[in-house]
Every structure is written in C-alpha cells, then in structure tokens.
C-alpha cells in the first residue's frame, strides 16, 4: 500500500480487499464492551478540517481514539487559519508538533496531494473539493460486500449530482476496480464531461435503470455547490430523479438504497424511503468507523517505507 | 515431532488440564490465531472424549496488541477474533503452537483482559523453544525443544498445512 491515501487510484484491488478484510476485524472490536485496542498508542492523528463535516470528522476521531492514538481536531474557525495563515505554514506547524497522520478535508481539489510535499506525516484525504473522498468510497464498498456478499458483478446506479460529487468519483473508481457495473444517472448537466474514461454507463432515465440495480446509491443535491443553474428547480429535480416509494418498488427484491449523508429528505430521497429496512444509511456510518480504523492501522502500522 | 507425537502430546495436555483444574467446569479454551485455534479445537475434542462435557472454544487475534507495530515495514496481517462467550469468572486456557519470546502471550493476556475478567489464565503450548524475553512460562507443554535463537521452528497442523508436524530448521 502507498504511504498516503489521496485517491482510489492509489489502491490496487488487492489493497482494497485487504482494507475491507482488516475493517471486518475492527467491526468485531466495535461490538465489544471495551471498544478500544492499543494498536496506535503514542501516535498522533490530526483531523485538519477546513470544510464543514459532521460524520467524517467524528468518524475519523472515533476511529483514531479506538486505536488509542492521540487525536487533535482542528478546523478553520478558531485557529490561525482565520487569521490568514497559509495552508503550507499551518501544515509545517502540524509537522513541527509531531503529527504522525494528517486527515485533511479542504474545498480545493488536490490540497491533500500538495500537503504530502510539505510534511512527513501520512496524509489521508477526507474529501477535497470535487475531486475524491476515498474513505467514503471504501466504506460504501464495505457495506455492499457485507450486505450482498460480493462486489464483483454487482449492478450499482449512482444517482444525482455526479458532477460535483467527490463521493461519486471515489465510489465509481472503486466499484470499477472491483469488477462491478456502474451506471451514472442524473440530468445531463450534472454528468461530468470526462466520464467516458471512467468505465461506466450513463443514463438520464432513472425509471429505466432501477429494475436492473442491486444498489441504488443516491447522491446529495449539493445546494452549496450550485453556483450556476444546473437544473430549473429543486422541485423539478425531486420529481424527475428523487427516489420515492414508487420508484423503490421498481428495484429487484433485496436491492439496497444507500446515501452518503447528509440527506435532503424530500429532495433526492423521500423521507419514508430513507427509513425502509433496505436503506442501509446508518450501517454505512457504523462501517465508516471500522474502515477508517483499518486505514489508519494499515498506514501507520507499518514503518515509513524502511524495513526493520 | 510426527503426527502421532502431536496427537499424544495433545491427549496428555488435555488430561493435565482436567487434572489441574479438577474437571472441565468453568473451563474455556482460547487459541491464538493462527494454528493455536486449531490446536484449541483438538484439545476440546480430547476433553470431550475423556470427560464428556463440551468446552467452549474461542479464537483470539493479537495483532492490535502487538508491541512492534510500526517497527516492521508492513502492517501485520490481521486474523479474526471470535470469542462467542463471556470470559469473566472462567478458567481460560490460552493455546498457542510455539512459545518463544513470550511477547505474543503478553499481547494475548492484554487482549483477553479487554474482553472480561477471567478467574485464571493458563497457557498451553505444543512446543516450548526457550529464549524468553519476558517473565512468562507455560502451564502445559507438549514438548520442550532446545533451539538456537535464530532457528526457525514451525508447527504444521492438518487443518491448514495438510499434516501435523513440528519442524526445526537451523539458521543458515
């Protein structure tokens, strides 16, 4: 495995399998009374979040704490970033304080890669702009494998604002790497122009795709990223692409509904759909902790390239 | 050791456990992955053959408790931990294939304590090869094998390796 996790492209199919297998052991730890193991005692993990986040930040914090690492949480407001300190100077400060791993979320695509040029710590991308969110992609793969027993050959539809979605990118790359069939579904304005290189299908007709899906992965309508008018109105979007109970009925029995959160209930997903037993949105969150534990363990548990 | 030697050693250890602990009440066997769990299941079979009761068997992975994480080039491989019973108040016999430095057993005791508070922890190993680095000894030993520190001692079990054997390879 690479020293950092910046993109799904950093991982081979073997790496992905190893991460998911290791996560399985950490799932077991999560069911114990004492949900903590001493694996990363004495290591320091910095959560460096320059963009809002609930579940990813808490998930990483819990993951590091359950590995007995020391955790520092650090966001833009309330830090010197608010005084105008540059990313580089902030990174060098974290380096000087002895961070072993830096988990970064940033609104600019590529900032985790830039960070690796300045610091010795392992860098984990927790979402960079519209580029990638590999830990989300991995926890989604884990959840599909757990629920459906395999990834290879699964038919997965990723529905919604693919253009702005780093989740969709990481998940598509991961699914294709593991041999699943991916169909992107959404209004043409929200399908990225470079999609021919992804190895996926594209459709603009949700009702035609749903009967052929093992997993319907619903993306959030990212209102904060809608700078231009990509669709006429939220109501029209909900009518054309929102996952309603009637639409779920088109799916094969046993097909899953997934969503990376936070949900806009009533927009991309109906409230009663989100609460169906086949919606595994909460399991995704629980699995996220185990997958992030596995990643921190696998990255920090080896030496930094040197052999002992 | 040949397959028959391994079988006889396990039979004797099963007798010794029952003698020392005065029967199989409160007894549970926890094998250290991998190979220790296979040996633990064999011991449970022997105990059942001798005394009758079914002894619970668990498997423990000690990877997250190792003291050399980050000192090796790659993160260690993780196995499954499955202990489907409460160890609190029980007499836990840890089972491993080879006792060497004692560090694995130290990790295993820490891991076990996180799962509950056993009344007693005992240790059964198929081979004790010496060279301890910690003050740890086994309660039940299949065979003491004098070795050089750099020798390679491998226990083969039928479940994983196709046959039972203990192989000592001298350092080159």
Look up the ipTM and state it.
0.83
Which chain B residues touch A22 with a CB distance below 8 Å? 78
Mean pLDDT of chain B: 92
Please state, in angstroms and rounded to a whole number, the distance separating the CA atoms of residues A217 and B85. 37
Q: pLDDT at residue A307 above 50?
A: no
- At residue A305, the pLDDT reads 46
Determine the distance from the C-alpha atom of residue A139 to the mean position of all C-alpha atoms in its chain, rounded to a whole number. 7
Domains of chain A: 8-132+286-300 (3.40.50.1370), 134-279 (3.40.50.1370)
Binned at pLDDT 50, 70 and 90, residue A77 comes out as confident
As a whole-number percent, the residues of chain A with pLDDT over 90 amount to 82
Q: pLDDT at residue A76 above 90?
A: no
Q: pLDDT at residue B90 above 90?
A: yes
Nearest to A67 by CA among A26, A99, A120, A22: A26
Closest Cα of chain B to A63: distance in Å? Answer: 13
* In B37-157, beta strands by DSSP E: 57-60, 91-99, 120-128, 140-144, 152-156
Q: pLDDT at residue A177 above 70?
A: yes
Q: pLDDT at residue A194 above 90?
A: no
- At residue B138, the pLDDT reads 97
| CA-to-CA separations, B166 to A9, B129, B157, in angstroms, rounded | 43, 11, 9
Question: Is B73 in contact with A36 (Cβ distance < 8 A)?
Answer: no
Determine the distance from the C-alpha atom of residue A250 to the mean position of all C-alpha atoms in its chain, rounded to a whole number. 27
- DSSP H or E segment with residue B111: helix B103-115
Q: pLDDT at residue A228 above 70?
A: no
Binned at pLDDT 50, 70 and 90, residue A223 comes out as confident
- At residue A39, the pLDDT reads 93
- Domain definitions of chain B by residue range: 3-69+76-169
As a whole number, mean pLDDT of residues B118-141 equals: 96
Asked whether A220 and A262 are in contact (CB, 8 A), the reply is: yes
Q: pLDDT at residue A1 above 90?
A: no
Closest residue of chain A to B61, computed from CA coordinates? A25
Mean pLDDT of chain A: 92
Tell me the sheet residues that pair with B121: B92
Tokens linked to A52: 């809002």
Please state, in angstroms and rounded to a whole number, the distance separating the CA atoms of residues B49 and B15. 10
Please state, in angstroms and rounded to a whole number, the distance separating the CA atoms of residues A173 and A178. 9
As a whole number, mean pLDDT of residues A173-190 equals: 96
Please state, in angstroms and rounded to a whole number, the distance separating the CA atoms of residues B113 and B107. 10
Contacts of A67 (CB under 8 A, 6+ apart): A36, A37, A39, A40, A293, A296, A297, B64
Tokens linked to A233: 């109105």
Please state, in angstroms and rounded to a whole number, the distance separating the CA atoms of residues A47 and A60. 8
Interface check for A297 against chain B (CB to CB < 8 A): the answer is yes
Which chain A residues touch B82 with a CB distance below 8 Å? 28
Q: pLDDT at residue A48 above 80?
A: yes
Question: Is B114 in contact with A301 (Cβ distance < 8 A)?
Answer: no
Which chain B residues touch A36 with a CB distance below 8 Å? 114
Asked whether A92 and A118 are in contact (CB, 8 A), the reply is: yes
Binned at pLDDT 50, 70 and 90, residue A162 comes out as very high
Interface check for A252 against chain B (CB to CB < 8 A): the answer is no
CATH 3.40.50.1860 for domain B3-69+76-169, yes or no, is: no
Closest Cα of chain A to B60: distance in Å? Answer: 11
Please state, in angstroms and rounded to a whole number, the distance separating the CA atoms of residues B104 and A122. 28
Query: Over the stretch A80-105, which tens digit does the pLDDT of each residue have?
Result: 777 778 899 999 999 999 999 999 99
Please state, in angstroms and rounded to a whole number, the distance separating the CA atoms of residues B156 and A169. 46
- At residue A306, the pLDDT reads 42
Binned at pLDDT 50, 70 and 90, residue B71 comes out as confident
As a whole-number percent, the residues of chain A with pLDDT over 70 amount to 96
Question: Is A28 in contact with B75 (Cβ distance < 8 A)?
Answer: no
Tokens linked to B66: 């190792």
Sign of CA dihedral A253, A259, A265, A266: negative
Q: pLDDT at residue A163 above 90?
A: yes
Q: pLDDT at residue A308 above 50?
A: no
Interface check for A73 against chain B (CB to CB < 8 A): the answer is no
Please state, in angstroms and rounded to a whole number, the distance separating the CA atoms of residues A227 and A206. 25
């Amino acid at each position: 495995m690479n020293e950092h996790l910046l993109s799904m492209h950093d991982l081979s199919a073997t790496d992905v399998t190893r991460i998911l297998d290791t996560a399985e052991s950490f799932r077991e730890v999560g069911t114990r009374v004492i949900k903590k193991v001493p694996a990363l005692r004495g290591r320091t993990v910095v959560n460096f979040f320059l963009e809002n986040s609930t579940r990813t930040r808490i998930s990483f914090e819990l993951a590091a704490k359950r590995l007995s690492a020391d955790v520092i949480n650090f966001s833009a407001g309330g830090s010197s970033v608010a005084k105008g300190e540059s990313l580089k100077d902030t990174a060098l400060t974290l380096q000087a304080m002895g961070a072993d791993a830096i988990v970064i979320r940033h609104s600019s695509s590529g900032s985790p890669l830039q960070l690796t040029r300045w610091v010795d710590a392992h860098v984990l991308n927790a979402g960079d702009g519209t580029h990638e969110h590999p830990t989300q992609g991995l926890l989604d793969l884990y959840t599909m494998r757990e629920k459906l027993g395999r990834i290879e050959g699964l038919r997965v539809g990723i529905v919604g604002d693919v253009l702005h979605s780093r989740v969709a990118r990481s998940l598509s790359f991961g699914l294709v790497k593991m041999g699943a069939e991916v169909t992107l579904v959404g209004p043409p304005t929200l399908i990225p122009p470079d999609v021919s290189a992804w190895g996926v299908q594209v459709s603009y007709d949700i009702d035609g795709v749903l009967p052929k899906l093992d997993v319907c992965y619903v993306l959030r309508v990212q209102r904060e990223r809608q700078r231009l008018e990509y669709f006429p109105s939220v109501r029209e979007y909900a009518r054309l692409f929102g996952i309603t109970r009637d639409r779920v009925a088109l799916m094969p029995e046993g097909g899953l509904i997934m969503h990376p959160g936070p949900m806009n209930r009533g927009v991309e997903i109906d409230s009663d759909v989100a609460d169906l037993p086949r919606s595994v949105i909460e399991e995704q969150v629980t699995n996220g902790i185990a997958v992030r534990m596995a990643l921190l363990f696998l990255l920090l548990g080896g030496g930094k390239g040197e052999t002992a | 050791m040949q397959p028959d030697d391994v079988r006889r050693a396990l039979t004797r250890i099963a007798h010794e456990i029952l003698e020392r602990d005065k029967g199989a009440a409160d007894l549970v066997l926890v094998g250290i992955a991998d190979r220790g769990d296979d040996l633990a299941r064999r011991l449970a079979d022997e105990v059942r053959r001798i005394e009758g009761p079914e002894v619970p068997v668990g498997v423990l992975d000690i990877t997250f408790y190792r003291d050399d994480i980050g000192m090796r080039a790659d993160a260690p491989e993780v196995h499954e931990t499955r202990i489907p019973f409460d160890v609190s108040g029980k007499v836990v016999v840890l089972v491993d294939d080879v006792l060497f430095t004692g560090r694995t057993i130290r990790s295993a005791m820490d891991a076990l304590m996180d799962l509950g508070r056993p009344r007693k922890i005992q240790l059964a190993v198929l081979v004790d090869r010496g060279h301890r680095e910690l003050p740890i000894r086994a309660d039940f030993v299949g065979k003491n094998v004098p070795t050089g520190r750099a020798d390679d001692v491998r226990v083969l079990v039928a479940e994983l390796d196709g046959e039972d054997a203990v192989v000592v390879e001298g350092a080159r």
